[in-house]
Amino acid sequence: MKFCSGSRRLNDEGGILVRDKKMTKLSFITSNPDKYREMKAFFEENELELDWTRVSLPELQADTLEEVVIHSLSQFNGDSVFVEDAGVFIDALGGFPGVYSRYVYDTVGNEGILKLMEGVENRSARFEAVIGFKPLDGGDIKLFKGVVKGFVSLSPKGGKGFGYDPIFTPEGFKKTFGEDERVKSMVSHRKRAAEKLLQYLKRNL
């Protein structure tokens, strides 16, 4: 891992420089700028600097998010890097789209999912995210999973977030992730997986 020192200030380009305090620098491998934005905000709140390795990872025909993450991470030789894969699992559709969420979203979008759910009373669903982290010491890949339960809305709501956010309402809340990014930043599957990675780093740095 890389370390740099210092209290934070903005440079001329608006980026963050760090002085007087050590900060661990990780590298997040993703082609998705929205995922990077969410991860960057979380880790900077916890004084870890996040680099972005912008690489488009190929779609893998797999049964689980864990398989996808392990395969993706195996393509990289560096350490202190992590990847993340996520999906929405809808109970009434037998867990579909699940591991194929990105492909399904790119193909039919939220409207296609809502079409499949027309007339369906059971709208329970969950978001799952799995992070795979390759440690500095070259040890085994570590996996961290985050889950948030909720339900599929009757129509898209809100223009915030990305992907399935406008049609997913988390348990205990009335607004979709697409309506309220504040709620998403508190309870999302991605944050919950990132929190587990953070705890691992604190124990093992």
Active centre residues (catalytic):
85
Task: Say which DSSP state 97 is in.
Answer: B
In 11-123, DSSP assigns E strands to 16-18, 23-29, 48-53, 81-90
Is residue 170 classed as helix, strand or coil in its secondary structure?
A: strand
Q: How many residues does the chain have?
A: 205
Region of 168 on the Ramachandran plot (φ > 0 left; ψ -120 to 50 alpha; else beta): beta
Q: Closest by alpha carbon to 190, among 96, 118, 86, 98?
A: 86
Tokens, residue 86: 């996520």
Q: Which residue reads 């559709």 in tokens? A: 93
H-helix or E-strand spanning residue 198: helix 189-204
